[in-house]
Amino acid sequence: MKNDKDDIKNILLVYPQYLKTFWSFENVMRVLGRRAAYPPLGLLTISAMLPKSWNKKLIDTNTTRLNQSDIEWADYVFISGMIVQKESAMAIIKRVKQAQKPVVAGGPLFSSGIIEHSQVDHVFLGEAENVMDSFIKDVKQGSLKKIYEAPGFPDISLSPVPEWKLINISAYFSMSLQYSRGCPFDCEFCDVVILNGRFPRTKTTLQVIAELDALYTAGWRSSVFFVDDNLIGNKSKLKKEVLPAIIKWQQERKYPFVFNTQVSINLSDDEELIKLMVDAGFGKVFIGIETPDEKGLEECCKQQNSKRDLVGSVKKLQNSGLEVQGGFIVGFDSDTPSIFQRQIDFIQGSGIIFAMVGLLTALPKTRLHKRLEENNRIISESSANNTFKSTLNFIPKMDTATLFKGYKKILDTIYNPRAYNERIKTFIREFKPVKRKAFSLKLEKYQIRALFGSVWFLGIKGSGRKYYWLLLLWAAVKYPGMFEYVVGYLLAGMHLRSLAAE
């Protein structure tokens, strides 16, 4: 007779390590006493889909060492990640296979085909909500298949609250929450529509509130990143249902969270939506600006950005209380050598402090990849980390040496202490943050670490000491209420300059 204990499995969920990227901020995390910027939200959600009776352990190799005893304990080892985590994922898979444990893989790294399916025992292609029950049934019956792939895109109202108990939340700078998947726009270089579709699928308002409750109950009281491809893809539901509910939730708890997310520039056209987002506690939005050149925008099908005053749109959001972080690209076929100075002028004039400037890269399965492949211009697979010259994976129309030289000029200019600090000033003059808390002399531990860390690394050891002290003095005299912001931006600049140097 079969014992019920035979159905209980030990599941090890492993998140691979990131290479250095624009958003990794390794050196800043160390100063703040954190080990990583964001938790592995996908694996935490997958864990919640598995039977409650199964034993689960999660190892994020960005914060915790993966021991051989962890692998030996497991009946199945789940691995998920993105393309930039390929190197670490391959090393983990090798260790697990040497221990003769089955590997269950999923996420963009595996759905894109960057890692061959022959490397793992079982693979989820696409999203898991519609196929997890089949996988669990097959585990119990001992009849597991190689590939689990559901047709189309699942209804994410089926998605459970992530199992936050599996991680030490204090190891991270920010928590994460996903409200929707998909984007209504179809930029040629972007793989979002391939992975998640063009029709934004959303969770219910009750789900969003339940996830906020879970984070609050876990003791979190800081930043929460809405990881949506484009939070405002479905404006109607967001305005009528979700944001009003979040506002009420935040007000009842005296705003324990500050939110940031990704949106498209057309947010600036909707004053009602801007106000609702600010009232809900959103303080930062990342926007793909890409290029100030109309031909470049037309080439990559970025219609939402074209024929508008991009700097004016950015400043409108800043004036409303939203810090704009921007993505920029060089290497379009239509780019000429003048694009490098135009990008510099735009970034400096807009006051976008966190300006992620990258080389165009052809991600797998995108329309850009298909077009370039048809013209025999693809030279390698993409690393998905376009902030390093070595990751250019196609033959550009512009002379490669000219492209690299111009790209380096942008980074060297916008991240050098003088230009970077001037950009902070430009932003501070425009930014109108919402004041929700009474002034308090009490400082959090990470704020104290940030201040003293910035003094040591930038004010004493840094090469731009003069600009550091001049900016702190300027902020203390003219904008004392923004002093904390300025310290944070100065610390972040340390990471951005290290990217430019590499």
Three-state SS letters, 372-389: HHHCCCECCCCCCCCCCH
Kindly report the number of other CB atoms within 10 A of residue 59's CB atom.
22
Q: Does some domain include residue 91?
A: yes
Determine the pLDDT at residue 24: 85
Residues of the chain with pLDDT under 50: 1-2, 438-442
Contact 13, 166 (CB under 8 A): yes
In terms of domains, do 121 and 256 share one? no
Note the pLDDT of residue 438. Answer: 40
Tokens 């393309």 belong to residue: 83
Of 392, 414, 436, the last residue of a domain is 414
Distance CA 140, CA 149 (A): 19
| Rounded CA separation 62/34 (Å) | 11
What is the signed CA dihedral for 344, 349, 350, 353, rounded to 10 degrees? 60
Per the CB < 8 A criterion, the answer to whether 294 and 308 are in contact is no
Residue 383 domain flag: yes
Within a domain: 431: no
- Which run of H or of E encompasses 217? helix 205-217
My answer on whether 23 and 78 are in the same domain is: yes
State the amino acid at position 216 in one-letter form: Y
Per-residue pLDDT, 21: 83
The pairing of strands 175-177 and 103-106 is unpaired
CB 267 within 8 A of CB 316: no
Given a contact cutoff of 8 angstroms between Cβ atoms, the answer to whether 60 and 47 are in contact is no
Residue with tokens 């939402």: 304
Residues whose CB is less than 8 angstroms from the CB of residue 73 and which lie 6 or more positions away in sequence, other chains included: 10, 12, 57
pLDDT for 62: 96
pLDDT at residue 441, as a whole number = 42
Q: Give the domain range for residue 194.
A: 174-414
Residue 160 within a domain: no
Dmax of the chain from CA atoms?
Answer: 78
Shared domain check, 124 and 202: no
Q: What is the pLDDT of residues 441-462, one digit of tens each?
A: 445 777 889 999 999 999 999 8
Q: Give the span between the Cα atoms of 165 and 240, in whole angstroms.
A: 32
Please say whether the beta carbons of 24 and 502 come within 8 A.
no
Q: Does a structural domain hold residue 423?
A: no
Residue 349 falls within a domain, yes or no?
yes
Question: In the beta sheet, which residues pair with residue 177?
Answer: 226
Q: Report how far apart, in Å, the C-alpha atoms of 182 and of each of 47, 195, 227, 262, 417 are.
A: 22, 8, 11, 12, 37
Helix-then-strand count for the chain, H and E: 20, 14
Say if CB 234 and CB 180 are below 8 A apart: yes
In a domain, 154, yes or no: no
Query: How many domains is the chain partitioned into structurally?
Result: 3
CB 340 within 8 A of CB 406: yes
User: Is residue 8, in this structure, part of any structural domain at all?
Assistant: yes
**CA–CA distance, 108 with 18 (Å, rounded to integer):** 14
Q: Are residues 383 and 267 in the same domain?
A: yes
Residue 440 dihedral angles phi and psi, to the nearest 5°:
-135, 140
Predicted TM-score (pTM) of the model is 0.94
Cα–Cα–Cα angle for 305, 306, 312, rounded to 5 degrees: 65
Q: Which residue, 116, 149, 182, sits at the end of a domain?
A: 149
Q: Are 305 and 319 in contact (CB under 8 A)?
A: no
CATH number of the domain enclosing 398: 3.20.20.70
CA distance 189 to 13: 31
Q: Are 390 and 475 contained in the same domain?
A: no
> Does 21 share its domain with 96?
yes
Residues 477, 480: Cα–Cα separation, whole Å:
6
Dist CA 17 CA 80 (whole Å): 11
Q: Return the DSSP state at 148.
A: E
36, 29 contact by CB (below 8 A):
yes
